A = this chain, B = another copy of it.
């Protein structure tokens, strides 16, 4: 699967997508993908650095890590790069006071942020909070601004849960973009700045890092745009048609995270 991957010899750190790589998500909390918990342990034992790079916005990092640990993953909060903390840094830098249209469980991530008299809207995967009333409220705030500022935590089209496919934040982002004639600023994969944050937290330059993900565009394409190598796993949202993607070609395919780690550790 990774013939000619001599470049893997120079690797010093791995960025891992979470949903579809470590576990399959669902309303029931999700199930680990076979071999992934052991693979995380082997990465750490090898001395390679590791950082999770996720677009998860339905929970604080604390609760997200609690869930991962319950599923058997040896992960700490500092090892998670997620959109909400990145958005908080951006809000502070630019003096922005957000109106939040996000999942209830994400709200504590914005505890330190001034939310009075909003001058921007932050949109996450709000799930059940995507009501007609809440969408109209966010829209009215935006259209009432002299220059509307819409910050979107990711731009995914949809995702799969145990009870079926769900529209992701990107669909609602497009609705507000069209209604307000504005372009959202995306915080999360595949934004270059977000990968750069994850690399900074990993402490490794892009040419010595490998991204491993299941999303051909957001994970693989986004990481390659930042100068990283990127592997696509054949788990999660992977589809065979991804291997004919017109624009993005992974540096290698692997059946799952366990196989990726096998091959990378053999090169070291």
- A contact residues vs B (CB 8 Å cutoff): 127-128, 130-132, 135-136, 139-140, 143, 157-158, 164-168, 170-172, 174-179, 181
The count of identical subunits is 2
Residues from chain B with Cβ under 8 Å of A181 in the complex: 157
- Please indicate the chain B residues that have their CB under 8 angstroms from the CB of A171 in the complex: 135, 139, 175-176, 178-179
A7 to chain B, nearest CB (A): 33
Query: Is B131 touching A167 in the complex (CB atoms < 8 A)?
Result: no
CB distance from A204 to the nearest CB of B (A): 34
A158 contact from B128, B143, B166, B170, Cβ within 8 A: B143
Q: Which chain B residues lie closer than 8 Å to A168 at the CB level? A: 179
Q: What are 11 of the A-B contact pairs (CB < 8 Å)? A: A130-B135, A131-B132, A135-B167, A140-B164, A140-B165, A157-B178, A158-B179, A167-B179, A168-B179, A170-B179, A171-B179
Given contacts A130-B135, A135-B130, contact A170 B164 (CB under 8 A): no
**Is the beta-carbon distance between B176 and A136 smaller than 8 angstroms?**
no
Evaluate contact between A136 and B174: CB separation under 8 angstroms.
no
Given A131-B131, A143-B158, A158-B143, decide whether A136 and B175 contact each other with a Cβ distance below 8 A. no
Question: Which residues on B sit within 8 Å (CB–CB) of A127?
Answer: 132
Q: Chain B residues near A170 (CB, 8 Å)?
A: 178-179
Q: Choose from B128, B131, B136, B166 the contact partner of A165 (Cβ within 8 Å).
A: B136
Complex Cα distance, B136 from A171, in Å, reads: 11
- 20 new A-B pairs (CB below 8 Å) besides A167-B175, A171-B176? A127-B132, A130-B132, A131-B131, A136-B164, A136-B165, A136-B167, A139-B158, A139-B167, A139-B171, A140-B165, A143-B158, A157-B181, A158-B179, A170-B178, A171-B178, A171-B179, A174-B175, A174-B177, A174-B178, A175-B175
